[in-house]
Structure 1
Amino acid sequence: MKEKSERTVLIAGGGISGLALANLLEKAGIRYVLLEFYDEIAPQVGASIGLQSNGLRILDQLDCANDLISLVDIPLNDTYKVVSVLELDNGIQVTTDKGKVFEGDILVGADGIYSTVRKEMWRIAPPGYFPADEWSSVPCYYKCIFGISRPIEELAKGHHYVYNEKFSYLVLVGPGGRFYWFLFVKLPVPLYGHDIPRYTKVDEETLALKHASDQITPEVTFGQLYGARTSSTLTPLHEYVFEKWHYKRIITIGDAAHKFEPLTGHGGNAAIETAASLVNHLTSDECSDWTNAQIEGAFAAVQDERFQRVQWLVNNAHQTQEIQAMATPFLATIGTVLARLTGVQTVLRLVAHKVIGATRINSIPVPRREHTVPFNDELPSRPLSWRWLPIGLGIISQAALFRLATRILGPLEIPTTFGGEPLVKYYTGFRIVDKILTSLVAVFGVPLASNNMVANLQWISFTPLLLSTTLDWTLESYRVGSKGLLTSFSSIFSTIYQLKAVGRIAPLYHLISVCEQIFRGSIAPTTDRLVDKEVVESFVPGIALGYIMPTALMLWPFKNKVTWQKFIAIWQPFPVYVGLITAGFSTFLRKQRASNTPQPKTSKESLGPRKQKAETDSLLRSVYVVGTAATALVHIYTLYRTASSPDLSFSGVFGSIRYLVSGTYPSDPADKIHVFLQRDMFLNAVSVLANSIYRTLDLRRLGYITGKEALAASLAVLVAQPVLGPAAAHIGFLGWREEMFMRIDRRIGAYN
């Protein structure tokens, strides 16, 4: 058995995949020989590479993300092109164009779409091992002129995507203000394999002249951009993932295995990922001796790990190009519409969706970098693909509860007195408003002023659930990612439930919130879940002054029934109070701090947002802890009162589930109101419970929690319902969920 330092990997090709692999092997302590045909490792042919977070993360592990030149840290002795390959008993021998022979333990073909290593692998392998004449299946739908141009003053720096019928442009700024650009032109018909041409400089100039008048921007044409070029090349764009990448001790990576259309910029990054995957498997315990069987197993594992991902990315690149080139009348119609409607956050989510499943080097720590979307391997557990299961359960459960609410929450007969005294009919001077308030006060007079101990205790137990619902909906509406969503208008939903019963509106609100997840997608930056510090600070007085104080005054048994009715009327629009106080205070605090906070001048001073996030997290914890404790105490009080009184029973106060869902009502109007409030509370509690379980399943699907944590959280919420009450269970769950978000923040170092 050879020692690691004695093993040799032959690498054919000095492109991005070959260079990345060379550095990865060097980090792993494995000797390599890099064979490259060109005199320069990075010749100026007009090409560029878009480095994305998945590729940069691996380069960061190599300590070269900031300086790509350091990918080559040994002198070039000579240049060689592999022309033939020979199998040895426990190795590989290659012969170069200059007649020099190299031997190694394995051969990696990183030599591009026209890979000699792949051709030799096909030649050596027995018939049937590879698909027959697979090269004839490699398609080409587009050709592309790519180049680099000198700075043009009229052309704004940044990214320019230009949609056209059957062609498109990508122009972006690079180092030194130079522009890196691509003209993609759709071929009249797809070409395959040997029918795909290799273009000449004359072909390039002819195509450039044809498109010279195309507008890149209103001020700049392609002719101007092409005229300022320092280098350019016309090339066909192959798009293909080869069915098999390896044979015995030979494997292909990068374009030699999976060739991308370059628009999305994932080709080079995918090459780096495959190189990392190869090194991971070559240095694993399962490949400790580098026997023939172990090498073949490692190569097979690389393809198994990478094939579906690169196939998906290749297909996505093709689809993106088809849209931007408006390849069909349908795509021409929707392409420009999507371009106008797609905002920055949507683009970031789409990009993140493509990189979160990226491979990294297992043996090298990942440097800590601030980012807001976790990679899958940074999560407590692997994300699950069954996104529609929690969404389906969420929709079905809330829709069923909403339908149940329409059946069992029947119309009420409004009492004509308040505790035996006349109803107050003048509150605001607006007839419609006063009529509504009079009816509501009359209804609430049953549990509050009728000496009905059962109804009174039931209503006291209901108030914490309204608090937890208000807390949840208000804070959720202020999360960064909730802006513009229907559920961000929480005060409107809360005001409606004061008029139409929370048992009806809570399932509807939760149903809408689940549906919003469909349109938001499965990727959300951790910053989407942030709540501003000013909002949390303002919510405390908002809930105290807007709900707790009015509720206390409503429950107080005033001897003066007129005064009592007025306080009950004042309580009714409490969602508006909470919303206005929170919005007003937070706006004031935000403006005050903006005017008093100087701009950071040093990196230490710029740590302010991290400190503010830590303070916000601490304040949120306090809100959830105090809220859980306070609502639990109210529930325990109602349990004690019910258990200690011979005149009370749990079914009398809270209702039995069988009777609650039956839809039948007693004939007495006051008893009917009591049953209505029982059912209203029941529907609210069940809706909150179902939504908590949905949120738990969604956290597991995202990989934010483990399966055991999901099970434990669901059981805890269920057990806490009768023990601590639905409100305490609700707020406690919200606090735990917030802690899970904070845990992800800490894992990815976004605010640490």
Structure 2
Amino acid sequence: MQAVFALENPIASRLALQYMVSNLAPKDNFLKQLTGPVTSGTKVMHLPVPLRPQVMPFDHALPGRPMTSKQGAWQRIFLTAYTIVLLLLSIRVTSAIFGRASDMGVWGSFLQRAWTGRTAIYKGLDKAASASYHTTSGSHSLLRVQLMYLMSQLISPLLIYTIEGYRSSNYGTIVSFPSLFTGGMLLCGLSGVAPMHAILSSWNSFTTPVDRFVALEVVKALVPALTAGYILPTIMMFALPACHGCEAYGGLWQFPPLLFSAITAAMSFVVAWWQRKKQSPESKESLQLELDRYKNRDIPILKSVYEYAFAIQATAHIAMHAYSYSLALPFFSLGFTLPSTFNSNWALRTLPNADVSFQLNTTLAGLSIFGYNLYAVWDL
């Protein structure tokens, strides 16, 4: 490292510092590397220390000493084991329902004719759509209501996966690709994605203010992207009447999560590009944008995003329960009358049993999110 900064090899130093570090590494990479040795320094107790504004407080200025990675290892190991069990159960349920997709497929002609032809993509879409079609059809009122409720409450995981993906501390990790998790819902559902995200997030937690920042262009794009890419398409899918020919579009409810990630990435890229275009790299305005992360300017916008999500989910929660009560549907039986997947003879052999897979996925996803929330509260 000293040889690179000393420019012993000017060409190699220029490539490393100007191109590789600036483009591949986070902007605060060097500051993050210096944080540990500096903030944990010893304070001389018998000399007055003047108070100065600090972006990163020293450990002795905090109410308590931060925990080291070794001190929380057992908690992370327990969470990992817990979520792996839920993940294995989710794989068992998902593989069973996907194995039955050929028996209840009504999508083949539509996908083959209009979209992909006889390809591997067609087969994958056919399985994903056919396996979920019966939950959106008009003949399954309880499942339809439960699916509408799940889709409305899916807003929180989608926002968390996206915000954490663009957080500074997750730069360069698997968590920094939210489309992997939102796209993974197409094939393995939330019950398969939630455990994996919980494991990756628990082993990559952040402890400094520099790691907390989320780019302003991303935060500003969340509400428009969530509305246009997820909420409106979901409402349109469930607003379709239960008629012959409409079934070809009923299973498209699986794609809005991935559409939300795509719109967020596109809008944030356009906003960032427009800001860079208006200012030169050497201007004071450009330097001011680089220092925005130390002023917590993203926090008020994030609060408004959370309030928007809370309002949508609370409204959907009340509306779904009122609607199910008016139809006398046993909405609250979800998760309490499910079969055990530990039985070696357990399988989804009939269509009513295939409906149970959706309820199992919802229950397993809720258990994964609940376990990670407990760990997140403890980690604070």
User: Under a length normalisation based on structure 2, what TM-score does the superposition of the two structures give?
Assistant: 0.79
Structure 1 position 678, deviation (Å): 0.8
Question: What per-residue deviation string (whole Å, max 9, x for no partner) do you get for residues 538-587 of structure 1?
Answer: 22222222211221122113255434523633x43334322221111111
- Are residues 406 and 591 of structure 1, via their aligned partners in 2, closer, same or farther at CA, if it must alter by over 3 Å? closer
Pick the aligned partner of 1:429 from 113, 116, 129: 116
SS of residue matched to 1:531: coil
Give the gaps of 5 or more residues in structure 1.
Answer: 1-158, 163-170, 173-215, 220-341, 518-522, 700-752
**Counterpart in the other structure of 2:82:** 397
Alpha-carbon distance change, 416 to 489 in structure 1, aligned in 2, over 3 angstroms = same
User: What amino acid is the match of 1:403?
Assistant: L
- Please, which of 8, 11, 26 is the counterpart of residue 217 of structure 1? 8
Distance change in 2, residues 1:668/1:640 (3 Å): farther
Distance 1:549-1:561 versus aligned 2 partners, 3 A rule? farther
Alignment partner of 2:195 out of 491, 503, 507: 507
CA contact (8 A) 2:338 2:360 kept: no
Alignment-derived partner of residue 265 in structure 2:
583
Distance 1:446 1:472, change over 3 A: same
Alignment partner, residue 14 of structure 2: none
Give the paired residue count: 356
What is the match of residue 655 of structure 1? Answer: 335
Matching of residue 535 in structure 1 with residue 229 in structure 2: no
Instruction: Describe the shift of the 1:363–1:671 C-alpha distance in structure 2 as closer, same or farther (beyond 3 A).
Output: farther
Q: Which has the larger radius of gyration?
A: 1
Contact kept in structure 1, 2:94 and 2:357, CA below 8 Å: yes
Q: 1:512 to 1:558 in 2, by over 3 A?
A: same
Q: Compute the displacement of 1:345 (Å).
A: 6.1
- Matched letter for residue 390 of structure 1: Q
Is the Cα contact below 8 Å between 1:465 and 1:685 reproduced in 2?
no
CA distance 1:449–1:362, change in 2 (3 Å): farther
Q: 1:601 to 1:562 in 2, by over 3 A?
A: same
Is 1:691 the counterpart of 2:377? The answer is no
Indicate the residue corresponding to 1:129 in structure 2: none
Q: How many Å separate the matches in 2 of 1:343 and 1:638? A: 43
Provide, for residues 291-321 of structure 1, a one-character-per-residue CA deviation record: whole Å limited to 9, x for no partner. Answer: xxxxxxxxxxxxxxxxxxxxxxxxxxxxxxx
RMSD, aligned α-carbons: 3.6
In 2: Cα distance, 1:416 partner to 1:401 partner: 27
Is the 8 Å Cα contact of residues 478 and 535 (structure 1) preserved in structure 2? yes
Secondary structure in structure 1 of the residue aligned to 2:2: strand
* Aligned partner (choices 224, 227, 231) of residue 544 of structure 1: 227
1:618 aligns to 2:303 (yes or no): no
CA offsets, 1:565-620, max 9 Å, x none?
23633x43334322221111111111211222466659xx9599449955421111
The structure with more strand, counted as a fraction of residues: 1
Q: After superposition, what is the alpha-carbon deviation per residue over 1:386-431, rounded to whole angstroms, capped at 9, x for unaligned?
A: 221332233222222222323444412225365xx99634331343
Q: Distance in 2 between matches of 1:218 and 1:588?
A: 37
Kindly state the Cα deviation for residue 352 of structure 1 after the two structures are TM-superposed: 2.4
Amino acid of the structure 2 residue aligned with 1:482 = N
CA distance change for structure 1 residues 668 and 378 in 2, over 3 Å: closer, same or farther? same
Superposition pairs of residues 289-328 of structure 1, within 5 angstroms: none
Q: Write the distance in 2 (CA, Å) between the matches of 1:558 and 1:423.
A: 20
**Where in structure 2 are the equivalents of 1:95-110 lying within 5 Å?**
none
Distance 1:563 1:643 in 2: 27
Over residues 21-52 of structure 1, what are the superposed CA-to-partner deviations in whole Å (9 max), with x where a residue is unaligned? xxxxxxxxxxxxxxxxxxxxxxxxxxxxxxxx
Distance 1:435 1:666, change over 3 A: closer
Provide the C-alpha distance between the structure 1 equivalents of 2:180 and 2:28, rounded to a whole number of angstroms: 26
Q: Is the 8 A contact 1:393 1:694 kept in 2?
A: no
Per-residue CA deviation, residues 245-299 of structure 1 (Å, 9 max, x unaligned), is: xxxxxxxxxxxxxxxxxxxxxxxxxxxxxxxxxxxxxxxxxxxxxxxxxxxxxxx
629-638 or 373-382, larger mean C-alpha shift: 373-382
Summarize the alignment of residues 75-474 of structure 1 with structure 2, pairs less than 5 Å apart. Answer: 160=2, 217=8, 348-357=31-40, 358-359=42-43, 364=48, 366-371=50-55, 373-385=56-68, 386-412=71-97, 413-414=100-101, 416=104, 424-425=110-111, 426-431=113-118, 432-474=120-162
Q: 1:380: Cα distance to partner?
A: 4.2
Contact 1:447 1:456 in 2 (8 A): yes
Please tell me whether residue 679 in structure 1 is matched to residue 365 in structure 2: no
Determine the C-alpha separation between the residues in 2 that align with 1:379 and 1:579.
37
Does residue 177 of structure 2 align to residue 495 of structure 1? Answer: no
Tell me, yes or no, if the aligned pair for 1:447 and 1:459 is still in contact at 8 Å: yes
Q: Percent identity?
A: 21
Q: 1:649, CA displacement in angstroms?
A: 4.7
Are residues 363 and 430 of structure 1, via their aligned partners in 2, closer, same or farther at CA, if it must alter by over 3 Å?
Answer: farther
Give, as a single letter, the amino acid of the residue that structure 1 aligns with 2:220: E
Tell me, yes or no, if structure 1 residue 477 matches structure 2 residue 165: yes
Pairing of 1:696-735 with structure 2 (within 5 A): 696-699=377-380
Distance 1:697 1:576 in 2: 31
What is the distance in 2 between the residues matched to 1:567 and 1:538?
28
**Which SS does the other structure have where 1:217 is aligned?**
coil
Q: For 1:137-191, what per-residue CA distance to the aligned partner results, in whole angstroms no more than 9, with x for missing partners?
A: xxxxxxxxxxxxxxxxxxxxxx8369xxxxxxxx98xxxxxxxxxxxxxxxxxxx
Q: Deviations over 1:431-477 (max 9, x none)?
A: 33333333333333212114212111111121134322221111111
- Identify which of structures 1 and 2 has the higher relative contact order when contacts are C-alpha pairs closer than 8 Å and 6+ apart: 2
Is contact 2:32–2:210 with CA below 8 Å preserved after alignment? no
